[in-house]
Amino acid sequence: MSARGQGSLFGEDSVPLSGSRPDARADAAPAARRRTGAVVRPASGIEAWRALARQLPASLRFGVSTWSYPGWDGLVWDGDYTPQALSRHGLAAYHQHPLLRTVCVDRTFWRPLTAGQYAAYAGQVDAHFRFVVKCPAGITDAQVRDDEGKGYRANPGFLDPRLAVEQFVLPTLDGLGDRLGVLVFQLSPLPWGWFSRPGVLLDRLGRLLSAVRQALAARADVIVAVEVRDPELLGQALADTLGAHGATFCLGLHGKMPPIEAQLPLLRALWPGPLVCRWNLNRAFGAHGYAAAQKKHEPFDALISEDPHTRAVLARTIRGIADAGQAAYVTISNDAEGCAPLSIQRLAQAVAAA
């Protein structure tokens, strides 16, 4: 494909859209009346989105990052359930939404899960659903951190191939089975010392990816994606390492990273290949803005901090990659615009219009 063709494919055109649900807070039930039952039912209005879902490429999967939000009453759920009820039972209702065909399991970043815990997730969804799962930080963080996130010593397990396979790859395979779609290895911000020896870092990453691919020998359909939180790593050397081991680059839309258009050259360097994108945090909140975003957006039932530029470029990127026959996984957090399901609806409309 020519450079000009790739430029069109990866999203320089824009489709400005906006939308919100400003009246949702007025309709929310008081927390004391929230439902606590073992059955969570899908919102009655989700069928209205099935026509839009049919306009999207078959290889495209939208989803959220975690799903235990009572504020999604009327969008995903049929009532105001407790977070605990949604965490345990909400996935069965969530996956019935026509636009929600994947989900990112973020809790694994903090602690490894067992095959049995993954199997419990798989048991709540149908055979067509796929999971995106994050590798534990004990493997992808160069530092051991305290409760406030401050690193205080080097992590001896950083990018350890054996730990990656035993604590992450094999349990996800055993528990999720054919519902496993993407394994994400998010490298946490690195101490400055690593930037003086990038070759050592990429060699270590390459050895981990090689071991992961060997463990996935019978599952070539599973996508392996690497996300970084240091802009200094964006370059041809990273692309070469990923390409050599059958991995792709995960677009990490976050305040620590440059905007989407500055990350797209890495995808061009790996073309043809799949798209994995995690829209985690609106750049307006800065590199450490999660708390501010949560405070502004709660209860996560409306688009409060819209980002039409990112949405438009991402829509064009999705359309081009998926129309070329490549898989596309896009997961969105409430911290991106205020309400992940509404962000997905607007993004789906933009993809259909592209």
Amino acid at 129: F
Provide the pLDDT for residue 10. Answer: 52
CA distances from 74 to 11, 13, 51, 210, 306 (A): 32, 33, 18, 44, 20
What would the mean pLDDT of 47-55 be, rounded to a whole number?
96
pLDDT averaged over every residue in the chain: 91
| CB of 346 closer than 8 Å to CB of 292 | no
Quote the pTM value.
0.91
| CB of 86 closer than 8 Å to CB of 35 | no
Residues 171-229: pLDDT tens digits?
999 999 999 999 999 999 999 999 999 999 999 999 999 999 999 999 999 999 999 99
| Rg, the chain, Cα only | 20
Residues 319-354: pLDDT tens digits?
999 999 999 999 999 999 999 999 999 999 999 998
Tokens of 210: 């090689």
Q: Is the pLDDT of residue 97 over 60?
A: yes
Beta-bridge partner residues of 240: none
Tokens of 272: 């043809």
- Going by C-alpha positions, the residue among 102, 108, 106, 193 that lies closest to residue 142 is 193
Provide the pLDDT for residue 249. Answer: 98
Tell me what percent of the residues of the chain surpass a pLDDT of 90. Answer: 86
Cα–Cα dist 127/125, whole Å: 7
Q: Is the pLDDT of residue 282 over 60?
A: yes
Q: Give the up-direction half-sphere exposure of residue 297: CA atoms within 13 A in the CB hemisphere.
A: 30
Provide the pLDDT for residue 289. Answer: 93
| Helix extents (H) in 178-284 | 198-215, 236-244, 260-269
Please tell me whether the peptide bond between 30 and the residue prior to it is cis, using omega within 30 degrees of 0.
no
What would the mean pLDDT of 59-65 be, rounded to a whole number?
97
| CB of 309 closer than 8 Å to CB of 279 | no
What would the mean pLDDT of 277-295 be, rounded to a whole number?
95
Tell me what percent of the residues of the chain surpass a pLDDT of 70. Answer: 90
CA distances from 345 to 50, 75, 324, 338 (A): 11, 10, 22, 13
Cα–Cα dist 127/112, whole Å: 24
Strands (E) located in the chain: 60-64, 102-105, 130-134, 143-145, 151-154, 180-187, 223-228, 248-253, 275-279, 328-332
| CB of 108 closer than 8 Å to CB of 135 | yes
Cα–Cα dist 140/156, whole Å: 11
Question: Residue 150 — very low, low, confident or very high, per pLDDT cuts 50/70/90?
Answer: confident
Domain boundaries in the chain? 33-100+247-354, 104-243
| CB of 15 closer than 8 Å to CB of 350 | yes
Q: Cα dihedral angle (323, 328, 333, 337), rounded to 10 degrees?
A: -20
Provide the pLDDT for residue 147. Answer: 83
> Strand 151-154 vs strand 143-145: parallel, antiparallel, or unpaired?
antiparallel
Provide the pLDDT for residue 31. Answer: 46
What would the mean pLDDT of 126-130 be, rounded to a whole number?
97
Residues 15-50: pLDDT tens digits?
333 333 433 333 444 444 678 767 999 999 999 999
Cα–Cα dist 238/249, whole Å: 9
What would the mean pLDDT of 307-327 be, rounded to a whole number?
97
